[in-house]
């Protein structure tokens, strides 16, 4: 029987090493919570095909996450903000190069952690192609994956990602979907998570839930920029 795929996404781990951005605090988890998730991933890998990703390029990716992943022989992808290099609390170019050298995958999260649906064409090109070029120079190999900031995207953003040469695109839309269409959803961990309940949810996820998520993501990916802007104005 084919194992069910499920992607778990992390942000900051441990004590925040920089001021929180607006709305970011819930996505920082304690080291203890992080280790609980890793141990549950290892103990359930026979029935679930877990994948692990990290957004924002926080310094805790290097200082905490990488060493714990190594101890457990776990793979992961780090989606880095290429415009934040050398800023306090973020990864440095040297650290990203080391992570890549150890076999971890490096992807783009853009330059400055902005909403891509609200960016004009020039800014969007910088966020996608500009960040890609910077990261490729740092790691010395192609960067073909991207994670969308805030889970906000529309038809224009997805088309721009294709033109920029990305092969894999990830969002934060929660549970798995039925197809391999863009974007691939991930479950973003928040503080206070019951890791055991998460595993049970993954192992016993219903087909109806995945179908519902598939339909929701297809609609979201088809929206025009004007409709997305109007929905934001209405607070939806």
Domain boundaries, the chain: 4-233
Predicted pLDDT at 8: 93
pTM of this structure = 0.91
pLDDT at 208: 59
Mean pLDDT (whole number) for 177-184: 80
- Please determine, for residue 236, whether its predicted confidence score (pLDDT) is greater than 60: no
CB-count burial class (<10 Å; 0-12, 13-18, 19+) for 28: buried
Residue 234 has pLDDT above 60, yes or no: no
Q: Are strands 105-108 and 4-10 parallel, antiparallel or unpaired?
A: unpaired
| Band (213; pLDDT cuts 50, 70, 90) | confident
Between 221 and 156, whose confidence is greater? 156
Over residues 211-234, the mean pLDDT reads 70
Average pLDDT over residues 122-150: 98
Looking at CATH, the fold of the domain delimited by 4-233 is given as TIM Barrel (3.20.20)
Residue of 84 and 173 predicted with greater confidence: 84
């Amino acid at each position: 029987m084919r194992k069910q795929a499920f992607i778990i996404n992390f942000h900051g781990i441990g004590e925040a090493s920089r001021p929180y951005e607006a709305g970011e605090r819930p996505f920082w988890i304690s080291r203890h919570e992080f280790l609980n998730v890793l141990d549950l991933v290892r103990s359930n890998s026979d029935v679930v095909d877990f994948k692990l990703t990290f957004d924002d390029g926080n310094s805790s990716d290097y200082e905490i996450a990488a060493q714990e992943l190594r101890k457990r022989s776990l793979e992961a992808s780090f989606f880095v903000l290429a415009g934040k290099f050398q800023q306090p609390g973020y990864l440095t170019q040297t650290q990203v190069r080391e992570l890549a050298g150890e076999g971890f995958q490096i992807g783009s999260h853009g330059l400055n952690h902005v909403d891509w649906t609200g960016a004009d064409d020039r800014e969007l090109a910088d966020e996608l192609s500009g960040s890609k070029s910077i990261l490729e120079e740092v790691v010395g190999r192609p960067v073909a994956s991207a994670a969308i900031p805030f889970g906000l995207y529309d038809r224009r953003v997805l088309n721009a990602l294709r033109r920029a040469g990305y092969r894999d695109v990830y969002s934060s839309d929660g549970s798995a979907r039925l197809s391999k269409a863009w974007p691939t959803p991930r479950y973003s961990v928040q503080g206070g998570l019951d890791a055991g309940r998460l595993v049970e949810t993954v192992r016993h996820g219903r087909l109806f839930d995945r179908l519902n998520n598939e339909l929701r993501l297809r609609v979201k990916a088809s929206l025009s920029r004007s409709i997305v802007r109007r929905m934001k104005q209405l607070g939806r």
